[in-house]
Amino acid sequence: MNNITTINTENVNDVIAELNEAFYDIPFENSRFQTENFVIAGSITPARAYRSIGLRMMSKVEALREAKYARLKMDIDIEELQEKIANPETNKFDRRRAELDIQQKLEGLPYTDKLINDAVTELNSLYGHFKALPRYTREEFEEEERVHFEQRLQRQITGQDGARESLMNMNHDMNNITGFEHNFLLTGEKKLANLLEKPTTENVLSINSTETN
C-alpha cells in the first residue's frame, strides 16, 4: 500500500498499479455464487443448465482465444518498435514515439491479465459443472423442455417470479441441480427427481418468509 491520498497526473501510474493488485482476484463480471445460483440454477432443469453452461463457456473461451492472439500480435508490435528504435536512420521524434508506444502497451498488460484471470476462474467453475452433467443429445434436451417450461410457467402463476424466483433458484434449484450432478456421477442415471414437482403454496410461503426474516 502506498501513501497517496490525492490522485493526479504525476502519480496515476502508481494508483493504477495499486488498483490492479487490489482487484486482481475480485470478479468484475459474475462471481462464482452468481454464476452457480443465477446462471446454472436459474436454468431450473439439468438440460437447460447444461445449455446455459455451454453458452457462457463458449463466450469465455472465445474471449480467451482473442486475448491470446491479441497478446501475440502485441509482442510482434513491440519487437517491430524496438527494431525501429535501434535503427540509426530513425529520427529522434519517431524514436520517442516508438518508446511511448511500447510503454503504453506494457502498462495495459496488468489489467488485461486481471480480465483473463476473471475469465479463467469462471471457466473452471463452469467446467466443473459441465463435467458433472450428462453429455446431452438433442433428443434428450428436447425431452426435458416440457419440464423446464412447466416449472417456469407454474412459478409465474403462483407468484414466484422476479426476486421470489431468484430466491427459489438459490434455495431450491441449486440443490436440485447439484443433487442431480452427484447422482449422475455416482450412478450414471439422469433422474429429475423433485424437479417434476410443481411449485406449491407452501413453496411460495417459504420464499415469502425468507424475504421478510
Judge contact between 180 and 191, C-beta under 8 A: yes
Q: In this structure, is residue 4 part of a structural domain?
A: no
Sign of CA dihedral 184, 190, 194, 195: positive
Q: How many domains does the chain have?
A: 1
Using CA atoms of 142, 136, 52, 37 in order, give the dihedral in degrees to the nearest 10. 100
- Separation of CA 14 from chain center: 29
What pLDDT, in 10s, does the model give residues 118-155?
999 999 999 999 999 999 999 999 999 999 999 999 99
Judge contact between 196 and 147, C-beta under 8 A: yes
Q: In this structure, is residue 10 part of a structural domain?
A: no
Write down the pTM of the prediction: 0.82
Looking at residue 132, its amino acid is: A
Q: In this structure, is residue 49 part of a structural domain?
A: yes
Q: In this structure, is residue 37 part of a structural domain?
A: yes
Q: In this structure, is residue 176 part of a structural domain?
A: yes
Q: In this structure, is residue 146 part of a structural domain?
A: yes
What pLDDT, in 10s, does the model give residues 32-55?
999 999 999 999 999 999 999 999
Reported as a pLDDT band with limits 50, 70 and 90, residue 205 is: very low
Q: In this structure, is residue 17 part of a structural domain?
A: no
For 175, the domain range is 22-212
The terminus-to-terminus CA distance of the chain in angstroms comes to 40
Q: In this structure, is residue 83 part of a structural domain?
A: yes
Give the three-class secondary structure for 151: helix
Judge contact between 56 and 39, C-beta under 8 A: yes
